[in-house]
Amino acid sequence: MHCLENMLLILAQRIRAGESSNQELADDLEMLAGASHQYVPEGGKEPLADVNDKWSRQYDHLMRQHE
């Protein structure tokens, strides 16, 4: 799964859980929308990789609940 796809799933879980403020969610959504044009095909380093790793660690508990 690409970083953008994973981060959109994390964002959806954050919205469902109500763990983030509306302002924080809106800021993160704007960031993702701006980064969508930087798509990198399989095998390349994605520009969102670092943020994706951070979110994956920070919101892991939300993703496990969704499984």
Tally of CA atoms within 13 A in the half-sphere of 38 that contains its CB = 13
State pLDDT tens for residues 13-39.
999 999 899 999 999 999 988 887 676
Confidence (pLDDT) at 47: 82
Q: Please give the full DSSP string across 23-48, using - where no structure is assigned.
A: HHHHHHHHHHHHHGGG---TTSPPTT
Instruction: Kindly report, residue by residue over 2-14, the tens digit of the pLDDT.
Output: 888 899 999 999 9
Instruction: Provide the whole-model pTM.
Output: 0.73
Domain extents for the chain? 3-66
What gap in Å lies between CA 52 and CA 63, rounded to an integer?
13
